[in-house]
Amino acid sequence: MTDALFAPPAADTLVARDRSVLWHPCTQMHDHETLPMVPVVRGEGAWLVGADGKRYLDAVSSWWTNLFGHAEPRIGAALKDQLDRLEHVIFAGFTHEPAVELAEELVRITPKGLDRVFLADNGSAAIEVALKMSFHYWLNQGHGEKTRFIALTGSYHGETLGALSVSDVALYRKTYAPLLLTPELAPSPDTYEGEPGETPKDIAIRRLGEMRSLLERHAHETCAVIVEPLVQCAGGMRMYDASYLTGLRALCDEFQVHFIADEIAVGFGRTGTLFACEQAGISPDFMCLSKGLTGGFMALSAVVTTNDVYQAFYAEYAAGKAFLHSHSYTGNPLACRAATATMKIFRDDPVLERNRVLAAHMAKRIAPLVDHPHVADVRQTGMIAAIELVADKKTRAPFPAADRRGLRVYRHGLEHGALLRPLGNIVYFMPPYVITEREIDFMVETAMAGIEKAVR
Ligand SMILES: Cc1ncc(COP(=O)(O)O)c(C=O)c1O
């Protein structure tokens, strides 16, 4: 007998049912009148398989979550085992092995000094936790005057109101601005914005100078500086020199403000090291993790912080210092088990070594785009590569946003079997680590053909 709900759906029926009841994220639903939605029935390694059997190379790791391929069997087996034991339990007053094991592992692998783990269930929630924890730390220390945050221009930290408050991507922020906190914005050290002749290090030094003057004026009222280490992802895969992070750590110490490292997108090997902060030799006060944490299987996030922060909340109940933040699914055992299985793959497989080979191959394949008349910049940090399309190479004048050139690349990708999802006019690659060199060739060639169509 076939359960009607789980019978393989006819592709157009599923799309029609979807369109009558669902509302998709980051989507103008009207677009789907002309842009067909893709019903997916299966994933295999770096590939997604559509209901009609068509295959799509997942060049964006399904919003940067997937590390070791879709339906990775080791993570799948751990989840199946966990399903028969414990699906969920309230995480206040109760604990379980997957959460403890995950926290021990995160303390072991994150930079020295990060010794305490708070769990939440998505990236934005982790940012909310870090912002509240930083504020509450200073309050518990008798500094209730610290109520503000500093973020970088072009930053993205999520879309709940707190996380959106410290984000600076107009597309997401502008409409909701009346609802948000107002952070101080420090100019981003990204290399695309550099002056002629400046090296990435020069840019970092100049931008640190600007951060210093911001801190001179605002440190007394500032809880923390929040940054995406090395790559500002949703802001257009803008990249910067690691020395900025080293300098920022020193400034945060000097001015007594916390350093929040949002490694939700760049953590777990994306930039070439396990964590991006390692390339600057620094340890933040809070590190936010999600996305790749479960290998792309389950929604989970973690804020890893210091014992100094933890101790500021640890007191008799009557002192009223406890951290007040809870999500029903905090520490979900299935999600934690997917995460411990993912961490085990990092221990068992030579992930970073292999990524170095793949990243070098990707660099070689995208290099010819440097000379393209509509490409202003080709940049790469580890397993993240981006190509910035412009109307005029000389002046770097962008294509008008209304042209939606990136969408043309996306359409071309879908027609030819690749899931490319440009950020505006920035075409980028952030594939699962199981991608092969031949698949990289296919991914880049498909994008190049899409770019040709898009700039015409
Ligand atoms: C750097 C960064 N921080 C936070 C988030 C928010 O994570 P989530 O989408 O799980 O809320 C994202 C999501 O893309 C991100 O890239």
Tell whether residue 123 is among the known ligand binding residues: yes
3-11 average pLDDT score:
55
Other CB atoms within 10 Å distance of the CB of residue 125: 25
Indicate whether residue 439 lines ligand 1 (CB < 6 A): no
Domain 38-71+351-455 has CATH 3.40.50.2300: no
Average pLDDT over every residue of 220-227: 99
**Helix pair 200-218, 243-255: axis angle to 10 deg:** 20
Residue 12 is predicted with a pLDDT of 78
Burial of 400 (0-12, 13-18, 19+ CB in 10 A): exposed
Percent of the chain with pLDDT over 90: 97
Identify whether the C-beta of residue 296 lies closer than 8 Å to the C-beta of residue 61.
yes
232 ligand 1 Cβ < 6 A: no
Tokens linked to 150: 């500093």
Mean pLDDT of the chain: 96
Among 64, 445, 418, 8, smallest CA distance to 231 is for: 64
Nearest C-alpha neighbor of 433 from the set 372, 374, 351, 370: 351
Question: Ligand 1 mean position to 166 CA, how many Å?
Answer: 12
According to the annotation, is 326 in a ligand binding site? yes
Residue 421's pLDDT is: 96
Is 424 a residue whose pLDDT tops 80? Answer: yes
Residue 131 beta carbon below 6 angstroms from any ligand 1 atom: no
Residue in 431, 424, 426 with CA at minimum distance from that of residue 172: 424
Residue 232: is its pLDDT beyond 50?
A: yes
Q: Residue 434's pLDDT is what?
A: 98
**Atom from ligand 1 closest to the CA of residue 290:** 10
The residue nearest atom 10 of ligand 1, judged by CA position, is 123
Instruction: Check the annotation: does 337 bind a ligand.
Output: no
| 249 annotated as a binding-site residue | no
pLDDT band at 4 (very low <50, low <70, confident <90, very high): very low
The answer to whether 262 is a known ligand-binding residue is yes
Asked if pLDDT for residue 2 goes beyond 50, the answer is no
Is the C-beta atom of 124 inside 6 A of ligand 1?
Answer: yes
Q: Which residue has the higher pLDDT, 2 or 10?
A: 10
Q: Determine whether the shortest distance from the Cβ of 377 to ligand 1 is under 6 A.
A: no
* pLDDT score recorded for residue 213: 98
CA-based torsion, 135, 331, 285, 359: positive or negative: negative
pLDDT digits (tens, 9 = 90+) for 134-186: 999 999 999 999 999 999 999 999 999 999 999 999 999 999 999 999 999 99
Mean pLDDT (whole number) for 283-310: 98
Which amino acid appears at position 340 of this protein? T
Strand residues in 212-275 grouped as ranges (E)? 222-227, 231-232, 238-239, 258-262
If DSSP codes are grouped into helix, strand and coil, which group holds residue 144? coil
What does the pLDDT read at residue 8?
Answer: 55
Query: 265 CA distance to ligand 1 centroid (A)?
Result: 7
Tokens of 172: 């997401």
> In degrees rounded to 5, what are phi and psi of residue 57?
-75, 125
Identify the residue whose C-alpha is closest to ligand 1 atom 2: 157
Q: Is 265 in the pocket of ligand 1 (CB under 6 A)?
A: yes
Residue 36's pLDDT is: 85
Determine contact, residues 290/264, Cβ cutoff 8 Å: yes
State the DSSP code for 111. P
Q: Tell me which residue has its CA closest to atom 7 in ligand 1.
A: 123
310 is in an annotated binding site: no
Report the amino acid identity of residue 386.
A
- Number of residues written out for the chain: 456
Instruction: Looking at 111-237, list the stretches that DSSP marks H as alpha helix, in order from N- to C-terminal side.
Output: 123-140, 161-165, 170-173, 200-218
C-beta 262 within 6 A of ligand 1: yes
234 CB near ligand 1 (under 6 Å) = yes
Residue 191: per-residue pLDDT: 98
Chain position carrying tokens 């100019």: 187
- Over residues 87-140, the pLDDT tens digits come to 999 999 999 999 999 999 999 999 999 999 999 999 999 999 999 999 999 999
Torsion angle, CA of 119/120/125/127, rounded to 10 degrees?
10
Q: Which atom of ligand 1 is closest in space to residue 127's alpha carbon?
A: 4
Q: For ligand 1, pick from 124, 169, 294, 381 the residue to mutate: most ligand atoms within 8 Å of CB.
A: 124
Q: How far is the C-alpha of 311 from the C-alpha of 442, rounded, in Å?
A: 52
If residue 301 lies in a helix (H) or strand (E), which one and from where to where? strand 301-305
Give pLDDT tens digits for 366-377.
Answer: 999 999 999 999
Indicate the DSSP class of residue 367: G
157 CB near ligand 1 (under 6 Å): yes
Extents of the domains making up the chain: 38-71+351-455, 77-348
Q: Which of 129, 173, 275, 290 to mutate to test the pocket of ligand 1 (most atoms within 8 A of CB)?
A: 290
CA dist list (Å): 434 to 103, 292, 312, 438: 26, 13, 42, 12
Helix residue ranges, H only, 110-152 = 123-140
pLDDT of residue 9: 55
Residues linked to residue 120 through DSSP beta bridges, in sequence order: 301
| Ligand 1 atom having least distance to the Cα of 299 | 10
Cβ–Cβ under 8 Å, residues 224 and 134: yes
**CATH 3.40.640.10, applies to 77-348:** yes
227 Cβ inside 6 Å of ligand 1? no
267 CA → ligand 1 middle, Å = 11
Q: Tell me which DSSP letter residue 423 carries.
A: B
Pocket lining: 226 vs ligand 1, CB cutoff 6 Å: no
- CA distances, 123 to each of 74, 164, 303, 365, 408 (Å): 24, 12, 10, 32, 29
* Three-class DSSP category at 431: coil
308 pLDDT above the threshold of 60: yes
For strands 184-186 and 148-152, give the pairing: parallel
Query: Which is the closest atom of ligand 1 to the Cα of 125?
Result: 11
Q: Are the C-beta atoms of 380 and 386 separated by less than 8 Å? A: yes
What atom in ligand 1 is closest to the CA of residue 64?
14
